Amino acid sequence: MRITVDYGLCDGLGQCALVAPEVFALDDDEQLVVAPDPAPELAGKVAAAARACPVRAISVEGA
């Protein structure tokens, strides 16, 4: 699974982290951090996190 975040769009709203905290988190400055190589069984959660992004900054391939 390959996750790409468009940091030009990402606004650090953190909705993805609420849906898939195993993979997405905000740092101290509310910038998005993505865990490398998420386990394949998280694919459904990652897809839901991408759908929960208000600015559609997350794309997922190979899930």
List interacting residues with another protein (CB under 8 A).
Answer: 12-15, 17-18, 21, 25-28, 30, 51-52, 54
Nearer to another protein, 2 or 11 (CB): 11
Please provide residue 8's backbone torsions phi and psi, each rounded to the nearest 5 degrees: -70, -30
Shortest distance, position 52 Cβ to another protein, whole Å: 7
User: Tokens 């910038």 identify what position?
Assistant: 31
Nearer to another protein, 1 or 47 (CB): 47
Residues contacting 57, CB < 8 A, separation 6+: 5, 6, 7, 9, 10, 11, 32
Shortest distance, position 23 Cβ to another protein, whole Å: 11
